[in-house]
Structure 1
Amino acid sequence: MPLTIIADIRAEAGREDLVHAELAKLVAPTRAEAGCLQYDLHRAHEDGRHFFFYETWEDRDLWQAHMAAPHIASYLAATEGAVASFTVTEMERVA
């Protein structure tokens, strides 16, 4: 069963450009990963510090492999101290 992920990221004030640039670097390599069906980055209109990834994966194991990928480690290192909050919600499509 496909897994839907909502990743909610808030940048620290004044760090939103850095966070945006680093998040954008994740898109191409992630879309090329095995099991990635959808990986879309969004930014809130009312708060430029607020980003979302809407993701769909073939299954949870492939998503977990994604989370261990080198480009995720690079993102985490590049944005250390620049992210105010990060929440991941695992979901399933019901309709």
Structure 2
Amino acid sequence: MPVEVKLPTLLRVHAGGAASVDANGATIGEVFADLTAKFPALATNLVDENGSLHKFVNVYRNDDDIRYLEALDTKVADDDVISILPAAAGG
């Protein structure tokens, strides 16, 4: 079953303007693989050349930051919502 992936405004252009899309997978990494297979332009915005999550991208499974779980190995269930948010910086 697919999970819902919510996209920030900046990434929607790479997904046909959609605010959210469905993707399949048992882990965040598998969900991202399915997502980037459907929308290849998202790949460089989510993971680096080593396949690791970019430092400037925050990903949440429901309300939990995956960096404090199992990162891309974090398990997902059918009713989970994955939210991708760009990190804010400034000073």
| TM-score, length-scaled by structure 2 | 0.32
Higher RCO, 1 vs 2 (CA within 8 Å, ≥6 residues apart): 1
Q: Which has the larger radius of gyration?
A: 1
Higher strand share: 1
| TM-score, length-scaled by structure 1 | 0.31
